Structure 1
């Protein structure tokens, strides 16, 4: 499988956080926001996030570590990690790196929520959107939020190593079970882990009626069989966003087409 060429590593200092980011390729920029507990470093450890087709299509791919993730710094303040707050970081990256013109953007799971809030706050900053594995939302969010708060309590009282040990045999979603490489470890330090999980628990996608105002061309990509990223969220977004299309991958082999699908959509 092709991989993104060696990117240029940089840092954006926002005062309360310093965001690590990189750039690869040339051409009109595409910004990518990753999911909860992921980062630029651990995503390439497994095979589902290959965005090299976007670079190969003549675009400049900008990836950044969300605050508290990977090489970005963060504070032990859970409200810093609520998706509506993370949207400000995404917009800061756009303003620093991407220039004044509307920018195409991609967001996975937590990054999907971040991107939607950012696009609602400053719709003029965005061109096309790619929403990847939209997470639980609205009615389906309650149970996962409770689980994330419980995880935060366990890590705070027993430590991250203990939590990872007792959950190591929990089966992954079907698409991950088919992958030849295991899920990478969380890219969050133990000090910040409880606060980031509580920030996730306090987050939800924007109000459905407000989402109807987003008219950007939007591609929604999701997979089947994952309760943390239910197909129902993606289907609801497809109905709410007036200029959107949806593709549901039934298995691992189809997910491997996402890089090419995203590149083709952003090239339209």
Structure 2
């Protein structure tokens, strides 16, 4: 029996008084993954990534899982993963993590032909920067996101003429600015899940009424989406832009103003895997993991 550490965060444990609102997503995910891995001869053991007693050398591999507090302490997270990668096989690999943790990786994917949403890259999200972004993007409705972050953390939708959100609700430093795309409220986002580069399933993510954020902690919900051949080919073309061994990948896409799907993110670090929309995802994950260890 192989032993693999599934890295998570203390804030994802339901008994923690400071648990996140979406802690239950860890429960759903590990409940789908652990039994399938056990059938494949792999014991998947949850370990907290910043637990000082965690020694990854006792495991055959370590999988970056629901480490959903890393954006609050990115330097510590990177240092921990570098240490873990020196003790065992890290999945996805450390070099993939370093590239994918900053959303500037989207520049690389754009250069390789991936379909993109128009994006401005700026050093700060202050009033002058945001005012100029309305003009540069030709839009009265924009979304500002931190370059390093996830789960809509410190992300804001801003309409021209409205007061800016408070500083704690804006990116701390570097940011990316995009036009707001109405399709997110009308059609939702699409999350294509791959394990070992093989397509597993697709979730359509829909925000709560009156919101645009699709994450469950803001009232978002998901449903199964059966992609067309064209949609799947597009997702595969994005994945083909990245080299190397990948245990998992999640490709998030949204319909742009031109009516075509465009890339929001390529999640290669700690994506939620949407187990409820992929009834066979546990077995697919286990097969991919077994092939890599």
TM bin, normalised by shorter chain, reads: 0.3 to 0.5
Structure with the higher fraction of residues in helix conformation: 1
Flag the structure with larger Rg.
2
Structure with the higher fraction of residues in strand conformation: 2
Give me the TM-score of the superposition, normalised by structure 1.
Answer: 0.39
Give me the TM-score of the superposition, normalised by structure 2.
Answer: 0.36
